[in-house]
Amino acid sequence: VNPETGMECMPILGFSAVHLRPGESLRLPRHSASSVINVVDGSGTARIDGVELSFDPFDTMAVPTHAEVEIANASATTPAHLFVVDDAPMQRKLGFYEIFG
């Protein structure tokens, strides 16, 4: 979010970061935007629509629209950091972005 305007930093792409504490897992919100997850550091697993993937630093995972995503940090001592890029800002501007329960 642009701190001066409160809007997205770019008109068509959204950016966010995920910090997973050691051993933590997180279910990402299911939504209509597609996204790409890049692993900055740490290792673990991602379950994307039932497909389990292992990840390490510098890995990139594609997440299709409407996918169920759960990510887990495999380490008991080291956090994991992931960077997420999605097309939610473009979908909001076009009027069809949705978040599902």
Q: Residue 33's domain is classified under what CATH number?
A: 2.60.120.10
* Model confidence at 101: pLDDT above 80: no
| pLDDT tens, position by position, 65-97 | 999 999 999 999 999 999 999 999 999 999 999
Q: What is the 3-state secondary structure (H, E, C) of 11-40?
A: CCCEEEEEEECCCCEEEECEECCCEEEEEE
Whether 4 is in a domain gets the answer no
Helical residues (DSSP H) of the chain, grouped into ranges: 88-94
CA–CA separation, 66 vs 101, rounded Å? 11
**Chain-wide mean pLDDT for the chain?**
94
Does residue 65 lie in a domain region? yes
| Count of structural domains, the chain | 1
Check whether 59 has a pLDDT greater than 90: yes
pTM given for the model: 0.88
The boundaries of the domain holding residue 66 are: 14-100
The angle formed by the CA atoms of residues 15, 20 and 24, to the nearest 5 degrees, is 140
The token pair at 95 is 């009027």
